[in-house]
Amino acid sequence: MINSFTNPNIDARFAIARGFPKELLKSGDNFMFFWNDGKEQVMMQIDDREIILEPDHITCTTYLHKVQIDNSEDHLKTLVFNREFYCVHTYDSEVSCSGLLFFGSNTSPVMKLDSEETGRLRTLYSVLEEEFAIADSNQEEMLRILLKRFIIRCTRLARQQILKSADKQSDIDLVRVFNVLVEEHFRTKKTVGEYAALMYKSPKTITNVFSKYSEESPLQVIHNRVIMEAKRMLLYTDKPAREIGYELGYSDPAQFSKLFKNHTGITTSVFKNSKSVIPFGQN
């Protein structure tokens, strides 16, 4: 069952569902949360990566990801919204999720829920279901407020579980800002120094903070984002590797090919031939 809200004046959309109805994929600009609120595993594929979403775990994706789910039973709860309904960049000062939940890495974050947090999110989800049934002038804003609360709760979990033992807000913000900048500039900027200049920090400062709070170095974050985009283009387009490398900022095809093989262990041609090319948004 899908509960949905739309504001056609600004093309704003927000929906929640039990399971993973294919109708949720009609638009290609979605942010999504996937919450396994049951007792069985959920098998997911996000781009070329297979994920087993264990019970009491939650993950999220952006419009950049292609998601496939095999056993989408009712114990999977899905929340879907677009930028017109709630822009995570515009409202980042409210929820602090950019660079952590969204646009933070080459992989989607997975957070574990304890019994208390599960109870809180179940209550919040139930309130959302009730609010979708109230079609009045306050509905849109109430849904937006409830979604914001959901995002904030997930952001807190991500801080606790993904950023190791981060205890300084300034360091957390540095990691987040670096990740967001990589998302914006990975096609043109390939060194830590270039991002450090944008942040008015030294490369050493950024590297030191990442060594304390992140499993990836800042250079790995840059390279992983490039590789993730390369994989998507190889999977979902028929562009040759040379053209993909050029679009990702590598005028020398050999340099791009070397980077790809160093990170994946295989060549671009082997990767492309091992996967069927799927038009983006097709299921």
Please tell me the distance from the alpha carbon of residue 29 to that of residue 23, in angstroms, as a whole number: 13
pLDDT band at 34 (very low <50, low <70, confident <90, very high): very high
Residues 77 and 211 placed together within one structural domain of the fold: no
What strand order describes the sheet that includes 67-69? 49-53, 42-46, 67-69
Whether the predicted pLDDT of 152 surpasses 50: yes
Residues 92 and 197 placed together within one structural domain of the fold: no
Helix (H, G, I), strand (E, B) or coil at 13: strand
Domain boundary (130, 162, 194) is at 162
**77 domain-assigned:** yes
Determine the pLDDT at residue 96: 46
Residues 195 and 148 placed together within one structural domain of the fold: no
pLDDT band at 282 (very low <50, low <70, confident <90, very high): very low
Residues 85 and 28 placed together within one structural domain of the fold: yes
**282 domain-assigned:** no
pLDDT band at 167 (very low <50, low <70, confident <90, very high): low
Please tell me the distance from the alpha carbon of residue 56 to that of residue 37, in angstroms, as a whole number: 5
**38 domain-assigned:** yes
Residues 129 and 257 placed together within one structural domain of the fold: no
Domain boundary (144, 162, 180) is at 162
Beta strands in 83-201 (DSSP E): 110-112
Residues 87 and 186 placed together within one structural domain of the fold: no
Residues 124 and 173 placed together within one structural domain of the fold: no
Residues 198 and 242 placed together within one structural domain of the fold: yes
Residues 204 and 223 placed together within one structural domain of the fold: yes
Chain mean pLDDT for the chain: 82
pLDDT band at 277 (very low <50, low <70, confident <90, very high): very low
User: 240 or 159: which carries more pLDDT confidence?
Assistant: 240
pTM of the predicted model as reported, rounded to 2 decimal places: 0.67
**279 domain-assigned:** no
Q: What is the CATH number of the domain that holds 45?
A: 2.60.120
Q: What is the CATH number of the domain that holds 175?
A: 1.10.10.60
Residues 126 and 33 placed together within one structural domain of the fold: yes
Determine the pLDDT at residue 163: 66
**84 domain-assigned:** yes
Pairing status of strand 49-53 against strand 42-46: antiparallel
Whether the predicted pLDDT of 195 surpasses 90: yes
Residues 28 and 96 placed together within one structural domain of the fold: yes
pLDDT tens sequence across 196-249 = 999 889 999 999 988 877 778 999 989 988 998 898 888 878 899 999 999 999
Whether the predicted pLDDT of 125 surpasses 70: yes
Percent of the chain at pLDDT exceeding 70: 82
Main-chain phi, psi angles of 221, to 5 degrees? -60, -45
Please tell me the distance from the alpha carbon of residue 85 to that of residue 225, in angstroms, as a whole number: 26
DSSP state of 42: E
Residues 131 and 28 placed together within one structural domain of the fold: yes
Whether the predicted pLDDT of 137 surpasses 80: yes
Domain around 258? 169-274
- The owner of tokens 């250079």 is 219
pLDDT tens sequence across 81-116 = 887 887 665 544 544 455 567 766 556 788 899 999
User: Count of domains in the chain?
Assistant: 2
**81 domain-assigned:** yes
**67 domain-assigned:** yes
